[in-house]
Each structure stands twice: as structure tokens, then as C-alpha cells.
Amino acid sequence: MKIVTTVKRVTDPDMKVKIKPDGTGIVTDGVEYRMNYFDEYGVEEAIRLKQEHGGEIVVVSVGADASTKEIRTALAMGADRGILVETDEELDSDAVARVLAEVIKEEAPDIVLMGKQSVDTDRNQAGQMLAAYLGYPQATFAFELKVADGWATVGREVDGGTSTKRVKLPAIVTADLRLNEPRYASLPGIIKAKRKKIDRKTPGDLGVDTANRVNVLQYEAPETRAAGQIVESVDELIEKLRTEAKAL
């Protein structure tokens, strides 16, 4: 079984985000980066699928040269080889999906495992768009995955509950948090990863024009929350909800 899994280098979601004074982006000086949490679940699931079915895991990242670190982490966890599609541009989800589609066409995997969204921009689009560009079936928000006889059975977390979907392989599956518990990259794994291969390409090599179709005009911080108030009576509460909060 051949598995492609994707990883994105993201700003650490635990840090405090600061927006540049001119609103063109966030301040990246002194910022820590890490692998998108949801992608860790995808990589872990790929390793478990390989343990069960055998095969090869190819880990793909689209991003700057520094993304090799996130690829190496996936290799240290147990993936077999890496592909970096190198670009210093900030791509929108659509461009990422079109780049990935070309990689998938070359690699021809049985299944593609991705995080359901990245924790930096939280757009939740790349997996779905990738499925559309490839004409593959998709099963998003997976909390359970079983593969047999050329089909994947995917338990999905949806609004109001769960659902089960069967998709014919090859397919795109995006991982939710309860899919598994990602392993740590062990020290022997880190050392082995050093000898694993990472191929480098550019979007140009793949014939993809990455000009963004969605452009970010301005970053703004949400309004800071006003302090709470203690009211004396229900009547006063209703009055304030009506006049100040305009919630009624």
C-alpha cells in the first residue's frame, strides 16, 4: 500500500500572535514553528496503516526551505521518504491543492492522509479542493479509519454526531483529533531520518502557476473583550441586553 501524507509548517498556536502595524501579516520575528497538529494525526495514521498493510509512506510539504524540519519529524516518526515543494510565497489553499494534485499524480498513492485543517489559518479547504482537482472521493474529519479490499471505511465527526462513509481508493482522508494518539519521534527515529531522502521540487517544476486566487487584504486583531458588569436585577439585565449588547 502506498500512502501519501502531508505536513505543514505552522506558527506555534500556543504563542501570542502579534499583527504587523501595517496589517499585512503577523510578526514572525522570534516565532516558534512546528508541525500542524492535525497533520501529526495524519502521519500517525499512515504509520499504523503501513504497519497493518505494509508499503511505503511518502511525506509531502509545500512551503519554504525550513519545512524540511517538519518533513524530518515525520520521517523520524516512521515515514519513508519526503518531498518538499519549495516556495517562499504564501499560498492560498487552492494553490496548495493544485500543487499537491500534481505530486499525487506522479506518486499515484492508494490513499492520501491530511490534517483536516492547519492550526495557523484554519481554512479547512486544501483536502477538499485536492479531492476535487483529482476527481478522488473524500472523507473529511476522520476519527476512525479502516482499509480493506480497495475501500476505506471512515468514521467522521460531523455537526451533531458521527457518520460513517465508505470511499473507494484512491481517496483523500483528512484527520480529526480523535483518530489516534500520535507517537513521539524517538531518538533512534531521528537518527534514522537523517539518511532518508527528501526530494525537492518547485511549483514551476510541476507546471503549477501558484498566483493566489484568494488574496488577504488586511489582518486585524479581534476587538478586545470589554470588562463584564454585575447587574442588580433581571430587569436591569434585560434592559442592558436590549440597549447595550443589542442582543434582544
Partner 1 sequence: MADFFNPTEEHKQLREMVRSFAEREVAPQAEEHDRAERFNVDLFRRLGSELGLLGVTVPLEFGGSGMDATAAVIVHEELAAADPGFCLAYLAHSMLFVNNLAVNGNDDQRQRILPGACDGTLIGGMCMSEPNAGTDVLAMGTVAREDGDHFVLDGQKMWITNGAISDSELGDVFLVYAKQEERSSRALSLFLVEKGTPGFSLGQKIHNKLGMRASTTAELVFDGVRVPKENLVSAPGGAVKSMMRNLAIERVTLAAMSLGIARRSIEIMNDYARDRAAFGQPLNRFGQIQRHIAESYAEYMAGRAYTYQVASQLSLDAFGNRLDSDGVKLYCSTMGKNVADRAIQVLGGYGYVGEYQVERLWRDAKLLEIGGGTIEAHHKNMTRDLSGLDKLL
Position 196 contacts partner 1 (CB under 8 A): no
Position 189 contacts partner 1 (CB under 8 A): yes
CB of residue 61 to partner 1, shortest distance in Å: 15
Position 67 contacts partner 1 (CB under 8 A): no
Q: Name the one range near partner 1 by CB under 8 A: 157-165, 178-186, 209-217, 232-240.
A: 178-186
CB of residue 21 to partner 1, shortest distance in Å: 22
- What is d(CA 105, CA 111) in angstroms, rounded to the nearest whole number? 12
Residues numbered 76-95 forming contacts with partner 1, rule: CB under 8 A: 76
Of 37, 34, 33, 83, nearest to 59 by C-alpha is 83
What beta strand segments (E) does 64-177 contain? 81-86, 111-115, 138-148, 151-158, 161-168, 171-175
Which one among 15, 31, 158, 191 touches partner 1, defined by CB under 8 A?
191
Position 240 contacts partner 1 (CB under 8 A): no
Q: Phi and psi for 162 in degrees, rounded to 5?
A: -130, 160
CB of residue 43 to partner 1, shortest distance in Å: 14
Position 16 contacts partner 1 (CB under 8 A): no
CB closer to partner 1, 7 vs 99: 7
Residue 236 C-beta-side C-alpha neighbours within 13 Å:
5
Of 197, 217, 5, 210, nearest to 87 by C-alpha is 210
Position 15 contacts partner 1 (CB under 8 A): no
Position 17 contacts partner 1 (CB under 8 A): no
Which one among 8, 9, 50, 72 touches partner 1, defined by CB under 8 A?
72
Burial 124-159, CB ≥16 within 10 A → b, else e: bbbbbbbbebbebbbbbbbbbbebeeeebebbbbee
User: Where is 199: in which H helix or E strand?
Assistant: strand 198-201
Exposed/middle/buried for residue 110 (C-beta within 10 Å: 0-12, 13-18, 19+): middle
- Count residues near partner 1 (CB under 8 A): 17
CB closer to partner 1, 101 vs 179: 179
What beta strand segments (E) does 36-149 contain? 56-63, 81-86, 111-115, 138-148
CB closer to partner 1, 45 vs 70: 70
Which one among 34, 53, 81, 165 touches partner 1, defined by CB under 8 A?
34
Position 194 contacts partner 1 (CB under 8 A): yes
Q: Which residues bind partner 1 (CB under 8 A)?
A: 34, 66, 69, 72-73, 76, 183-191, 193-194
